[in-house]
Amino acid sequence: MIGRKEEKRMLQSLIKEEESQFVAVYGRRRIGKTYLVRESFHYDFTFQHTGISNASIQNKSRKQAQLDKFRESLAEAGVEFSEPLNSWDEAFSGLKEVIRRSTEKKKVIFIDELSWMDTKDSGLVTALESFWNGWVTARKEKDVVLIVCASATYWVIDNIVNARGGLHDRLTGQIHLKQFTLHECEEYMATRGIIFSRHQIIQCYMIFGGVPYYWSLLKKGKSLPQNIDELFFRENAPLRREYDNLYRALFNKPDQYLRIIEALSSKKKGITRDEICKITRISSSGDLTKKLSELENCGFIRVYRPFGYKQRNLVYQLMDNYTLFYHQFLKNKSYDENEWQNLSNTPTVAAWSGTAFERVCLEHVPQIKATLGISGVYTEVNTWQCQADADAGIFGSQIDLLIVRKDQIINLCEMKYSETDYIVSAAFIKDQKRKIHDFRQITGTKYAIHSTLITTYAVENNAYAGELQAVITAEDLFR
pLDDT value for 255: 94
> In this predicted model, what pLDDT tens digit does every residue of 363-410 receive, in sequence order?
999 999 999 999 999 999 988 989 999 999 999 999 999 999 999 999
Judge whether residue 306 has pLDDT over 90.
Answer: no
Give the model's confidence band at 345: pLDDT under 50 very low, under 70 low, under 90 confident, else very high: confident
Residue type, 144: V
Judge whether residue 60 has pLDDT over 90.
Answer: no
Nearest to 107 by CA among 15, 39, 9: 15
CB 109 within 8 A of CB 41: no
CB atoms < 10 A from the CB of 166, how many?
14
Nearest to 262 by CA among 238, 244, 250: 244
Judge whether residue 336 has pLDDT over 80.
Answer: yes
Give the model's confidence band at 55: pLDDT under 50 very low, under 70 low, under 90 confident, else very high: low
> In this predicted model, what pLDDT tens digit does every residue of 189-225 receive, in sequence order?
999 999 999 999 999 999 999 999 999 999 999 999 9
Which 8-state DSSP code applies to residue 406? T
Nearest to 364 by CA among 470, 462, 249, 456: 456
pLDDT value for 310: 63
* Secondary structure class of 212 (helix, strand, coil): helix
The edge-to-edge listing of strands for the beta sheet with 379-386 is 379-386, 397-405, 409-416, 448-455, 470-472
pLDDT value for 314: 87
Q: Mind giving me the DSSP string for 46-102?
A: SEEEE---GGG--SS-HHHHHHHHHHHHHHHTT---SS---SHHHHHHHHHHHHHH-
Judge whether residue 181 has pLDDT over 80.
Answer: yes
> In this predicted model, what pLDDT tens digit does every residue of 240-265 receive, in sequence order?
889 988 998 888 889 999 999 999 99
Mean local confidence (pLDDT), 453-477? 96
pLDDT value for 332: 83
Mean local confidence (pLDDT), 158-166? 90
pTM: predicted TM-score of the whole model, two decimal places: 0.92
pLDDT value for 445: 93
**CA dist., res. 222 & res. 196, Å (int):** 10
> In this predicted model, what pLDDT tens digit does every residue of 129-144 receive, in sequence order?
999 999 999 999 999 9
Judge whether residue 56 has pLDDT over 70.
Answer: no
Residue 159 region by backbone torsions, left for phi larger than 0, else alpha for psi between -120 and 50, else beta:
alpha
SS (H, E, C) 26-56: ECCCCCCHHHHHHHHCCCCCCEEEECCCHHH
Q: What counts of helices (H) and strands (E) characterise the chain?
A: 21, 13
Helix (H), strand (E) at residue 429: helix 426-443
Judge whether residue 285 has pLDDT over 90.
Answer: yes
Give the model's confidence band at 109: pLDDT under 50 very low, under 70 low, under 90 confident, else very high: very high
Mean local confidence (pLDDT), 417-422? 95
